[in-house]
Structures are given as structure tokens and as C-alpha cells.
């Protein structure tokens, strides 16, 4: 399945989602590797197989195998980190924040793609997963690297749109109410 066929499956009640997805795919704010790695990481983070497969298929022709693996790694490592760091942030016992995480996450230091791209992907996945601590940490790294607020906002917008595609497809599967 391609992104185009995915767009065709978005129901009319989610027309705005379909239009936003079209605009996102046509947006040239990022280079191709940064953009399609971002889209793939976000698609995987939605946990919707149709969305993940469509974006992976699109990424296959636009990303090197190393970049595809890095996008997958961003989604996977943030799935772990977002749960852990959201816990430390939300727990009323602040002692958890001072304890070593004891989580292996070497891919963050050596992702196989430009560090800024990987950080952007991690930020977007963290937004989908709802981890404010990780969003804040990745935003600070990106800002310190000179990434513009507009680029960071683009990543957040990408996360929002890709997540909304997954939700629209799930909502379309609900049974029709009988009056």
C-alpha cells in the first residue's frame, strides 16, 4: 500500500486529515532523507499496521537501508524511553529522576544518519507517545544544534498529521450505528 492509496482510504468525515496529509507529503521543508525518515518513524509510532506499511513502502524507494533502520530505531527506542521518562516525570516521588535509567540506548549517540535528523525523529515520536520530558530534551538538543523553531514545529505537525491518519482509519472501521 502506498501513501496515495492510504489517502484514498481516509473517509470523508476526516477530509481535513486527507488534505493535511497531502500537504505534508508535498512539503519540501526538509530534505528527502530527513522528511521520509520522520514520516516513517511517526508512522511506526502510531502502531497502526496499515499506516506503518504505507509509509515504509514509500520510504523504501527514498531512503537508504541505514536510514530506514534509523527511523525504525527512533520509533523503537522512543517507545522504551517515552514510557520510562514519562513515569519519572509523572511519579510524585522525584527520587526516580535521580536514579540511573539502566536502559541501553546507544543508538541515540550513533544512529547511522545525521544526528540532527535522528533527534528530530525522536522528538516527533515522543510527541505521539505523549512524553513531555523527552519532547523537551530533544527540542533542547535540536535548538542547541541550530535547528530552527519552524523545523521543530514541522516535525510536531508531521507527528500530529500521521497520528490523525491512523485515528481516522480506525474510526472508519467502527460499525455504523443503526437508528
- pLDDT in the model for residue 140: 98
- On whether the pTM is more than 0.95, the answer is no
Distance between CA 27 and CA 87 in Å, rounded?
35
Closest by CA to 46, choosing from 17, 26, 22, is 17
Counting as low any pLDDT under 50, the low residues of the chain are none
Question: Which pLDDT value is given to residue 42?
Answer: 98
| Per-residue model confidence as pLDDT tens digits over 109-156 | 899 999 999 999 999 999 999 999 999 999 999 999 999 999 999 999
User: What whole-number distance in Å separates Cα of residue 103 and Cα of residue 129?
Assistant: 18
Residues 42, 122, 134, 158: which is the catalytic one? Answer: 134
Rg of the Cα trace of the chain?
17
* Identified catalytic residue from 42, 122, 131, 158: 131
Could you count the other beta carbons within 10 Å of the beta carbon of residue 134? 22
DSSP 31: -
H helix or E strand, kind and range, residue 61:
none
- 42 an active-site residue? no
List Cβ neighbours of 10 (8 Å cut-off, separation of 6 or more): 17, 18, 21, 165, 168, 169, 172
Q: How many residues does the chain have?
A: 179
Predicted pLDDT of residue 2: 85
- Which domains, ranges and CATH numbers included, belong to the chain? 3-172 (1.20.1290.10)
Amino acid at each position: 500500500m502506498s501513501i496515495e492509496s492510504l489517502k484514498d482510504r481516509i473517509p470523508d468525515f476526516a477530509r481535513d486529515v486527507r488534505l493535511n496529509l497531502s500537504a505534508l507529503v508535498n512539503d519540501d521543508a526538509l530534505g528527502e532523507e530527513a522528511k521520509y525518515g520522520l514520516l516513517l518513524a511517526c508512522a511506526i509510532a502510531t502502531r497502526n499496521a496499515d499506516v506503518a506499511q504505507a509509509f515504509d513502502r514509500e520510504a523504501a524507494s527514498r531512503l537508504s537501508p541505514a536510514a530506514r533502520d534509523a527511523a525504525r530505531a527512533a520509533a523503537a527506542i522512543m517507545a522504551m524511553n517515552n514510557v520510562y521518562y514519562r513515569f519519572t516525570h509523572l511519579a510524585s516521588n522525584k527520587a526516580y529522576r535521580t536514579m540511573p535509567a539502566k536502559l541501553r540506548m546507544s543508538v541515540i549517540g550513533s544512529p547511522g544518519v545525521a544526528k540532527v535528523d535522528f533527534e528530530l525523529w525522536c522528538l516527533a515520536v515522543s510527541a505521539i507517545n505523549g512524553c513531555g520530558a523527552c519532547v523537551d530534551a530533544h527540542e533542547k538538543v535540536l535548538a542547541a544544534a541550530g535547528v530552527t523553531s519552524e523545523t521543530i514545529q514541522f516535525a510536531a505537525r508531521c507527528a500530529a498529521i500521521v497520528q490523525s491518519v491512523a485515528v481516522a482509519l480506525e474510526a472508519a472501521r467502527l460499525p455504523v450505528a443503526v437508528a
